[in-house]
Structure 1
Amino acid sequence: MSTSRRRSLTAVATLALAAALVAPTPATAAERPSPGHRKAPVPTERYVAMGDSFVSGPGIERQLDGCGRSDKNFVRLVAAGLRVASFKDASCGAAQTKNYWEPQVVNGYTNPAQLDALDRSTTLVTLGTMGGNDVGLVQLATQCIAVGCSTLPPEQYTAAIDALVPVYRRVIREVRARSPRAQIVAVGYGTYVPRERCAALGNATEADLAYLQGMIDRLSDMIGKVAREQRIAFVDMRAIKGWREHTACAEPADQWIRGLNPYGDGIPLHPSTTGMEQMGAQALKVISPLVARRAAERRVKAAAASVRVRAVCSGPRRSRKVTIRTTGGKGLVAVASFRVGRQWVGTDRRAPFSVKRTARWVKRQTARGPVRATVVLRAGDVRLRTTVATPRPPCLR
Structure 2
Amino acid sequence: MTTTRRGRSLLVAAVAVVMCAGAAPAAAHELARPEPVSTVFFGDSYAANFGIAPIFGAWDLNEYYCFRSEENYPAVAARELAEQGTTLDVASDRSCGAAVIEHFWTTQPLPKGKSKPPQQEALGSETRLVVGTLGGNTLGFVQILQQCSQTFRNLDAVLPGDPVDPDDPAEQCAAFFTVGAGRQWLDSRFDTVETELGVLFDNVGELSPHAKAVLVGYPRIVPDNFVKCQIPAPGRKYKPLADIPTNALPVFDNIQERLNDLMRAKADEAGALFVDLYAVTGYNTACDGDDRGIGGLFETSQVKLLGVPLPWLLHPNTRGRDIQGHHVATAIQHTLRT
Check whether TM > 0.5. yes
Q: Would you say 1:102 and 2:102 are equivalent positions?
A: no
Q: Distance in 1 between matches of 2:291 and 2:108?
A: 34
CA contact (8 A) 1:189 1:220 kept: yes
Tell me how far apart the structure 1 counterparts of residues 263 and 74 of structure 2 sit (CA, whole Å): 18
| CA offset digits 1:53-93 (Å, max 9, x no partner) | 11111221010122111011111212222331234110110
2:40–2:127 Cα contact (<8 Å) kept: yes
Q: Aligned match of 2:131 in 103, 126, 134?
A: 126
One-letter amino acid matched to 1:136: G
The Cα offsets for residues 239-289 of structure 1, whole Å up to 9 and x where unpaired, read as: 225x42x333344x5431011233333721111122111111111222212
Question: Contact between 1:193 and 1:247, CA under 8 Å: does it hold in 2?
Answer: yes
Partner residue in 1 for 2:213: 184
Q: Secondary structure at the match of 1:201?
A: coil
CA distance in 2, matches of 1:256, 1:124: 27
Q: Residue 47 of structure 1 aligns to which amino acid in structure 2?
A: T
1:259–1:167 CA distance, 2 compared to 1 (3 A): same
Counterpart AA for 2:317? S
| CA shift in 2, pair 1:35/1:97, >3 Å | farther
Aligned partner of 2:242 in structure 1 is: 202
Query: Residue type of the partner of 2:126?
Result: S
Write out per-residue CA displacement over residues 214-234 of structure 1, whole angstroms, 9 at most, x where no aligned residue.
112111111111111121111
User: Where do 1:132-171 residues align within 5 Å?
Assistant: 132-146=136-150, 147-148=170-171, 149-152=173-176, 153=179, 154-171=183-200
2:330 corresponds to 1:285: yes
- How many Å separate the matches in 2 of 1:220 and 1:122? 26
Change (3 A) 1:204 1:229: same
One-letter code aligned to 1:150: A
Question: Higher strand share goes to which structure?
Answer: 1
2:20 maps to none
Match of 1:61 in 2: 53
Corresponding residue for 2:75?
76
Residues 87, 188 of structure 1: CA spacing in aligned structure 2 closer, same or farther, 3 A cutoff? same
* Whole-Å separation in 2 of the counterparts to 1:164 and 1:138: 15
- Please give the root-mean-square deviation of Cα atoms over the aligned residues, in Å: 2.4
How many matched pairs?
256
2:213 aligns to what SS in structure 1?
A: strand
Contact kept in structure 1, 2:47 and 2:132, CA below 8 Å: no
Structure showing the higher helix proportion among its residues: 2
Match of 1:92 among 96, 107, 117: 96
* Structure-2 change in CA distance of 1:207 and 1:87 (3 Å): farther
**Per the alignment, in what secondary structure is the counterpart of residue 69 of structure 2?**
coil
Q: 1:40 to 1:226 in 2, by over 3 A?
A: farther
Q: Structure 1 runs of 4+ off > 6 angstroms? A: 34-41
Q: Spell out the pairing of 1:13-52 with structure 2 (5 A cutoff).
A: 42=34, 44-52=36-44
Partner of 1:336: none
- Aligned equivalent of 2:292, options 255, 264, 273: 255
Partners of 1:47 and 1:107 lie apart in 2 by 28
TM-score (structure 1 length as normaliser): 0.60
CA contact 1:144–1:209 (8 Å) conserved in 2: no
| Letter paired with 2:74 | V
For 1:126, give the aligned amino acid: V
- Relative distance call for 1:163 and 1:104 in structure 2 (3 A) is closer
Among candidates 220, 232, 239, match of residue 279 of structure 2: 239
Code of the residue aligned with 2:216 in structure 1: it is V
Structure 1 or 2, whichever has the larger Rg, is 1
Displacement of 1:121 in angstroms is 1.0
Amino acid corresponding to residue 281 of structure 1 in structure 2: H
Q: Counterparts of 2:77 and 2:8 in 1: how far apart (Å)? A: 8
